[in-house]
Amino acid sequence: MAYLRVRRRLSQQSLADRLGKSKSWVDKVERGVRSLERVSTIRDIAAVLRVDAAALLGRDAQPTGAAERDEDVARIREALSAYEMVRDRSAPVLPVERVARHVGYAWTAYQHARYPQVVELLPDLLRDVQRNYARDPTAGRLVVDAYRMTAALLVKLDATDLAWLAVDRAMAAATGDRALMACASVQLGQVLRSSARARSVLLAAAYQIAPSDLDAGSPQELSLCGALLVQAGLVAARCGDERTTGDLLDEAAEMAARVGDGHDHHRTAFGPTSVELARCAAAVEWGDGSAAIARHQQAIRRDGWRLLPVEHRAAHLVDAARAYLQTGDPGSAARVLLDAEILAPYEVRRRPAGRDVLAQVARDPKAPAMIGELALGLGLVCG
């Protein structure tokens, strides 16, 4: 602060007068005797010194969270390039039942939005499933499950190219098994959300697994088919095709009504509430914030809301914050974003999509102090 003050050719007294503080207060801050803790004070100083608030905190380097995200992606990239099943066929292989437990535990960590924990688990997990698959091709389900989770996490970290590699390996391991192929295709939809051509691939996978009679279909079949229709609908929404999006989500809703809420068949968390959240996400994609907010407010009152995985709920709250921003309501955007941060901190602090929304909310002068403090703590532009 002292350096910036001198550069602006201000004395301590001049700065104190403009801030409504005493010269002694300014002197103590500059000597480090007193710390700057209030966001509003930091903003006032930045305005007087005509700098960004981040400059007062030494935030020229990469923001907190972004560096960790890059490290996470690098670790996953290294794990994906290990090819243990080729390198060492004499290495010990864990029993398939034990590996299956490890895969299940990692999925649970992911669904609770404990992304750093999943990153820690992935190198050993991918090595173990690869070794099992090299010795026993019937272990393909473990390979598909492990790479699906890897792809889902990489989408969260905005590493789409690397996520494509993970989902491609899942698809390869699923070859010849309709159910596994449908499972892998769910993550394919997440990875290729911006590709219009992905819709036909998703629909082909959906109708291959769809029962001929919905009433006779198993919950597992309906969940897979419905989840694929949801992904296809979100691809259509990203492409601006509202009519197709509505048709696909309506079809998914019919299946969801037969499955019910509170289930997680094939790691899809598919049910009536998840379809409603998809409708909300689609409205956000179209820029129809009012419609998205109406969907959001209805969905979170449903019994099925609390039954969804933590990461699903937190990701939806980030979408809801975007919807409130679209309607010019930064206060409500901040509220649901803070709810998401309490529910799943890493969804807001480390996921690029969450960080982007946080930065947008924090820039608004009407944003609550807690949002400003969180944004400043993460090194996001604010002031």
DSSP secondary structure letter of residue 62? P
Question: Distance between CA atoms of 233 and 224, rounded to whole angstroms?
Answer: 14
What is the rounded CA–CA span in Å between residue 210 and residue 189? 17
What tens digit of pLDDT does each residue of 289-346 get? 999 999 999 999 999 999 999 999 999 999 999 999 999 999 999 999 999 999 999 9
Give the model's pLDDT for residue 61: 44
- pLDDT tens string 335-370: 999 999 999 999 998 898 999 999 889 888 777 878
Residue 220 corresponds to which tokens in the numbers above? 């597992």
**Taking a C-beta distance cutoff of 8 angstroms, is the pair 208, 182 a contact?**
yes
pLDDT in tens, 193-205: 878 888 999 999 9
Question: How far is it, in rounded angstroms, from Cα 371 to Cα 358?
Answer: 7
Q: Is the pLDDT of residue 38 over 90?
A: no
pLDDT at 14 (0 to 100): 86
What is the distance of C-alpha 379 from the center of its chain?
19
pTM: 0.81
pLDDT surpassing 60 at residue 64: no
Residues 85 and 131: beta-carbon distance below 8 Å:
yes
Where do the domains of the chain lie? 66-174
- Percentage of the chain beyond pLDDT 70 is 91
Residue 18's pLDDT band (cuts 50, 70, 90): confident
CB 248 within 8 Å of CB 232 = yes
What are the residues whose beta carbons fall under 8 Å from the beta carbon of 20, sequence distance 6 or more? none
Instruction: Read off the pLDDT of each residue in 99-114 and give the average, rounded to a whole number.
Output: 95
Mean pLDDT, range 158-175, rounded to an integer: 93
